[in-house]
Amino acid sequence: MNLSIDIKPISASKIDTVDFDNLAFGSTFTDHMFVCDYRNGQWETPQIIPYAPMEMSPAASVLHYGQAVFEGMKAFKDDNGSVWLFRPEQNAKRINASAERLAIPQFPEDQFLEGLKALISLDKAWVKSGAGKSLYVRPFVFASEAGVQASAASEYRFMIICAPVASYYGGDVRVKIADHYSRAPQGGTGYAKAAGNYGGQFYPTQLAKNEGFQQVIWTDAATHEFIEEAGTMNLFFRIGDTLITAPTSDSILDGVTRKSVLSLAEHLGIKTEVRTLRVAELIEASTSGALLEIFGSGTAVVIQPIIGFGYKGKTYETPLSENSYALMLKQQLMDIQYNKAADPFNWRCKVCD
């Protein structure tokens, strides 16, 4: 693969048309996008070009068989105007783990990181500093080959697009624990950020929304007895003073925020346990008062407190307390992300000044 990136910058930025204080999550995009095509068994010279709609064959394989994977990460601006990514090498590795599961060719990790830095540097004016503001970065790969034969494609497109965002969720989040629908079976694609994993969740999530919940907590597909994760968040449960999260498996996404929360919690002297958790144990802990907090972790939300859950028609409350682990860990993580605190783990990666 050619190491240089072919850059065709925009002639005039559209940034002045954007109201950065009123952004719906992930619906406004920056001036440029990164594009790299895979043909004849290799990745061609990557390009950075003006963000725009693109032409695609109606027979493009992705539209028929869903061969697509993606990543989600954020860039942050510190008070000196420098721009940082958070553990981007983790996303570079993970998109390839996802790609492998979907029979998509590997994208070289150094090219992934270089492409990210070049694109974000070019669009750095779109990374705003200030409370909760960041640039959401969405790398993805899809099968672009025209043809409806049901087999792995031979042509792909790797892209990165960027969306300036404020914070992800507003308001309180209550979740419904799944007792019928499943997100990911054993041996399936749950550990991959594969497009189809998400499309399949929208209907059960809509049903949960009709019942007054914002999200679904997925349980294992075989028995629905074990807690797995939420739509795009891993989950933590504070029972007593111990923070519990499920072990990653082939049905659970190995979240970068999840592993960062675990490291940070251990660093702060909070007891953590990575183990399976039964729904029955959760209900019991809630009833006895031992369940003090539930929160989700993911790039978009960082940490999202969950203030209640429903299971088989009953609801359980987990109100947010002032000395919650969720708020404390969120603050500490964000302080590292925004270069406001020391970074003992070397998680920050500078993009540009």
Which of 43, 191 has the CB closer to ligand PLP?
191
Distance CA 245, CA 242 (A): 10
Within 8 A by CB and 6+ apart from 3, the residues are: 111, 114
Nearest distance in Å: CB 196, ligand PLP = 12
97: its two tokens: 């783990």
Q: Which stretch binds ligand PLP (CB under 6 A): 28-36, 129-137, 229-237, 319-327?
A: 229-237
Which of 90, 154 has the CB closer to ligand PLP?
90
Mask 193-212, x = binds ligand PLP (CB under 6 A)? Answer: x-------------------
Nearest distance in Å: CB 254, ligand PLP = 8
Nearest distance in Å: CB 232, ligand PLP = 4
Nearest distance in Å: CB 23, ligand PLP = 19
Cα 218 to Cα 161, 183, 198, 227: the distances in Å are 29, 6, 12, 6
40: its two tokens: 């004849």
Which of 229, 293 has the CB closer to ligand PLP?
229
Distance CA 60, CA 88 (A): 29
Q: Which stretch binds ligand PLP (CB under 6 A): 52-60, 109-117, 228-236, 327-335?
A: 228-236
Nearest distance in Å: CB 265, ligand PLP = 15
Distance CA 211, CA 312 (A): 12
3-state secondary structure of 174: strand
Mask 289-328, x = binds ligand PLP (CB under 6 A)? Answer: --------xxx-----------------------------
Closest CA to 295 of 251, 253, 262, 250: 262
Which of 14, 93 has the CB closer to ligand PLP?
93
Question: Is residue 5 a contact partner of residue 115, using CB atoms and an 8 Å limit?
Answer: yes
Which of 215, 297 has the CB closer to ligand PLP?
297
φ, ψ for residue 169, nearest 5 deg: -100, 145
Nearest distance in Å: CB 48, ligand PLP = 24
Which of 46, 72 has the CB closer to ligand PLP?
72
Closest CA to 169 of 330, 1, 282, 16: 330
Mask 238-277, x = binds ligand PLP (CB under 6 A)? Answer: ---------------x-xxxx-------------------
CA torsion, ordered 328, 330, 331, 332, to nearest 10 deg:
90
Residues within window 151-190 making contact with ligand PLP, judged by CB under 6 A: none
Q: What angle do CA 242, 347, 292 make, to 5 degrees?
A: 20
Within 8 A by CB and 6+ apart from 54, the residues are: none
Size of the site for ligand PLP (CB under 6 A): 14
User: Reading across the β-sheet that carries 271-274, which strands appear in turn?
Assistant: 271-274, 242-245, 234-239, 291-298, 302-306
Q: Among 31, 220, 229, 281, which residue sits at the site for ligand PLP (rule: CB under 6 A)?
A: 229
Q: Among 30, 96, 232, 248, which residue sits at the site for ligand PLP (rule: CB under 6 A)?
A: 232
Q: Among 28, 234, 251, 332, which residue sits at the site for ligand PLP (rule: CB under 6 A)?
A: 234
Q: Count Cβ atoms below 10 Å from residue 22 Cβ, excluding itself.
A: 8
105: its two tokens: 């060719």
Nearest distance in Å: CB 137, ligand PLP = 11
Closest CA to 257 of 295, 300, 298: 298
Nearest distance in Å: CB 89, ligand PLP = 12
Nearest distance in Å: CB 261, ligand PLP = 9
Residues within window 59-98 making contact with ligand PLP, judged by CB under 6 A: 72
- Asked if 124 interacts with ligand PLP (CB under 6 A), we say no
Q: Residues in the site for ligand PLP, rule: CB under 6 A? A: 72, 193, 229, 232-234, 253, 255-258, 297-299
